[in-house]
Amino acid sequence: MSGVGSGALPDLAMLLGLACAGAALGRLLRLPMWPVTGSILGAATAPLIGAGGAAPPGWWAVAGQLLVGCGVGSMVGRDFFASVRRVVVPGSVVALVIVAVGVAAGAALAAGGVLGPAPALLGSIPGGVGEMVSAAAGLGADSGLVAGMHLIRLVVVLSALPLLLRWARRRYGRSG
C-alpha cells in the first residue's frame, strides 16, 4: 500500500469517480447504506481497471467525517443533550462488552493460527478504524489486511442491520 496522499491526480479522480458510480449503483440496487457500501464496492474495483494504488490524501478522511458529522448534527432534535446524559452509564457497559468480545475474537483468530497476532487483534476490535490501521502500520503489520477486516465488518453489519431492526420491531414493537 502506498503512503497517504501519494496518488496522482488522475488516479484519485478515477478512484472518486468509481466510488460515486458505486454509490449510484448501490442506490439503484437499494443496497443498505448505499452511500458507503456502494462507494466501498465501487472504489474497490479500481485495481481491476488498472487504477489501483492511488492513496487519497489524509484530508479526504477528515472531510468525509466533517460532512457526515455536520449532516447528522443538523438533523438531531433538541433532546439530543438530554439523551447523552441519560445513557452514559448503560452505554459504557455496552461499549465495554462489545470491545471485550472483539478482543476475544481477535485472540481466537491468532490462537487458531488463522492470522498473525497483530492483524488478528487490530482487525477484530470494533472501534476507531483509522487508529487501528495506523497502529498496524506503526507495528509493521499488514495495515491493508486490518483495513480489509474492518471493511468486512462494516459491510456485513450495515447489510444485516435492517434485518435486525425488523426483528426487534416485530418482537418488541416500535416503541420498545
Partner 1 sequence: MSGAVTGPGASLPRAAVGLLAGAAGGLLLTWLRVPAGTLVGAVLGSAVAGSVVRARPHPLQRAVRTAGLVLIGCVSAARLDGHSLGILARAALPVLAAVVLLLALDAALARRLMKRHRLDPATAVLACAPGGLSELSVLAVKEGADVGTVTVIHLVRVLLVVLVVLPVLVLVLSRLP
**Shortest gap between Cβ of 58 and partner 1 (angstroms)?**
9
**Interhelix angle 34-44/9-28, nearest 10 degrees:** 130
Helix (H) or strand (E) holding 68: helix 58-73
**Shortest gap between Cβ of 8 and partner 1 (angstroms)?**
13
SS3 12: helix
Q: How many CB atoms lie within 10 A of CB 69?
A: 10
**Shortest gap between Cβ of 66 and partner 1 (angstroms)?**
4
Cβ proximity to partner 1: between 49 and 90 the closer is: 90
Cβ proximity to partner 1: between 8 and 131 the closer is: 131
Burial (CB < 10 A; 0-12, 13-18, 19+), residue 25, is: middle
**Shortest gap between Cβ of 117 and partner 1 (angstroms)?**
6
Distance of CA 113 to the CA centre of its chain: 25
With beta carbons less than 8 A apart as the criterion, state whether 115 and 124 touch: no
Cβ proximity to partner 1: between 9 and 71 the closer is: 71
**Shortest gap between Cβ of 10 and partner 1 (angstroms)?**
15
C-alpha to C-alpha distance for 131 and 143, rounded to whole angstroms:
11
Cell 443538523 sits on residue: 74
Cβ proximity to partner 1: between 8 and 84 the closer is: 84
